[in-house]
Structures are given as C-alpha cells and as structure tokens.
Amino acid sequence: MLPTLRMYYGQVLYEVKRPGLEWLMRIIFDKTLSRVKSYINDKFNSAELGDSFSFTFNDADGYIELCFNETVPKGWSIRPHKTPVIASRYDIEEYGSMSPPQFPECLVTITATTDEGIVKELNYPVTMRGVMSNIEKINIVLTRDSRGPQPTLEPLEDSAMSPEYITMKEMLTDLVDLFAGNAPIILQLNNHLFSSGLIPKEVYVTVVTIGLTPYDRANKIFSSVLATLECHPNPNSAFSSLITSLKKVGLNNMPYQLLEKLKMKGGHVDPNLEQQPSVSKNHFNQWMSLHNLTHHNQ
C-alpha cells in the first residue's frame, strides 16, 4: 500500500481523577485539529491539555499505534484501557464524518503512590508506529502530590461509572467463558458488534484474521465492548445494541441475565428487549448446564 499524504491530528488531555495521584489520559484523533479543540472545550473544559501533533499514515488502510515500551518509574503506573493502543485511519475518517462527530480516542489511566523515595515527577515518552509525525514522541509529564492522601477525597470506584459498564464488568468472565465454549458463533457475533459500532475495526480484523483460540477471541471482543461502554456518550444505547447482537446469534438466555443484572444496578431496561423472545425456566437451565460444562472442561 502507498502511504496517504492526508494530514491527521491528535490531541492529548489529562482529566484529574484524584488530585496529584490519578489522571485519565485521553488521546483524541480527527482530520481537523480545530474541531478536536472545540470538542474538548465543550466536553472537557476542566481538563489539562497536553501535546498536540499531526501525522500521516504509512499505509492507506493503516493505523497509528501508541507504544508504552519504556520502563515506568518507581511509584508510578501507566495502564492503557485496551491493547494494542491504536486508532485506524478508517475509524478516524468514518467516525469523524458522523453528525455529530464521534472522535476516536485512546484512554490511559496514570496513577502515583504516596510512598517516600519515589520519583516525584513523571516524564514518560510514548513513541508512535504506523505513521510519520511532526513530533518524535508524546511526553507524559505529571507531578505527584507529595502531601499524601487527602481525607476529603473520595476513592474512584465503580459507583462513578454507568450501570451498563458495571453490569458488563461483572458479567465479563461469564460472557467470555460462554462464547469460548461456543466457538462457531464467535465470528457471527464479531460481525454484529462491528456493524453496531461496539468494537473498532482493528479488533474486528484481529478476531477474523489472526489464529487466536476461541477463548482469546471472546476475551478480545468483550474486553473491547467493555472499553466502549466505559467512554460511550450513551451507554444504555450501546448496551441495548449488545443485547440485540447476542440475540441475533441465538443466545437468548445470556441477554436475559444481563438485563436482570442491569435492573439490579438501577439501569434502564427497554421493555421491547425483554419481550422477545421470552426466557423460560427450561431455557435458563440449559444455559446453566452449558455454562457449568464450559467451566468443568477448562
């Protein structure tokens, strides 16, 4: 493939989760830097801006990969929300053309401890692959709060997340195990989730083309859905699309379990999703038998 000469842009920003101790790093991509900055001003006006950069893709159907390969200093942790940390040219073009635009982004949680003797300032380089950029690397520069934990700060817990995200997180293992034991329908579900916008193209392509085990395929798919629910502007709509996709591949009992769990978490359940098809006790027992068999065979 020949390289594309069209210019694309990335903007780094940091949302403070616990002052001086925890940050959510966002890297947002688009075809126009001014649109990204306007979007940030509207949605994240209290965030701190980091590096902005331009780049061109090495391949017309390529992607930008952010590489966190350097050793993290003592007392710090850097945790990408999904790996690899990539954004494809296709997603930037397609999502950026929506109205309103849905900018592709990569999320990274950065935390510091309050232990004595650790590096107070984080200066961490993130390199890029798959592109030619006007900068050699993105530098993460953050300063730890040396005063220690503040008693007025509330811990960052799942209670700050949507009921849909919490439900998916608690059911993640069951979903992965169920589909690992039903390998023939994994690719069908992969198609439905990609069409619904619940997984990015890079995950879809990886599941289709790379020789992964059924467990690894299922884990990659549902971990990506979890990441989508974490930052989706309408998690209930995304959750409903997940339920519909599960029903399309013939698994009606898992959607039932997810909807019941969502109710327990205080989430809204569309009555239409509950009505069809109905779930009988026998169907539930069949699902439990399959679920237990999957665990027994591992």
Does one domain contain both 177 and 136? no
More confident residue, 98 or 1: 98
Does one domain contain both 137 and 167? no
Does one domain contain both 97 and 175? no
CA angle 150, 152, 158 (to 5 degrees): 100
Does one domain contain both 35 and 107? yes
In a domain, 32, yes or no: yes
pLDDT at 268 (0 to 100): 86
Q: Sign of torsion, CA 235 239 242 248?
A: negative
Segment 242-270, tens digit of pLDDT: 999 999 998 778 888 998 998 898 888 87
Q: For the CA atoms of the chain, what is the radius of gyration?
A: 21
In a domain, 272, yes or no: yes
Number of structural domains (the chain) is 2
Q: Is the pTM of this model over 0.75?
A: no
Look-up: residue for tokens 């990204």? 36
Segment 172-200, tens digit of pLDDT: 988 988 898 888 899 999 999 999 999 98
Question: What is the mean predicted confidence (pLDDT) over 60-88?
Answer: 92
Q: What band does 288 get if pLDDT is binned at 50, 70 and 90?
A: very low
Does one domain contain both 29 and 96? yes
SS3 content of the chain, % helix, strand, coil (to 5): 45, 25, 35
Does one domain contain both 199 and 284? yes
Segment 106-146, tens digit of pLDDT: 999 999 987 777 788 999 999 999 999 999 999 999 988 75
Burial 224-247 (b: 16+ CB within 10 A, else e): bbbbbbbebeebbebbbbbbebbb
In a domain, 2, yes or no: no
Does one domain contain both 177 and 88? no
Range of the domain at 25: 8-153
- The Cβ-side half-sphere exposure at 138, using a 13 Å CA radius, reads 27
pLDDT at 160 (0 to 100): 62
How many angstroms separate the CA atoms of 267 and 242, rounded? 15
In a domain, 52, yes or no: yes
In a domain, 70, yes or no: yes
How many angstroms separate the CA atoms of 183 and 193, rounded? 16
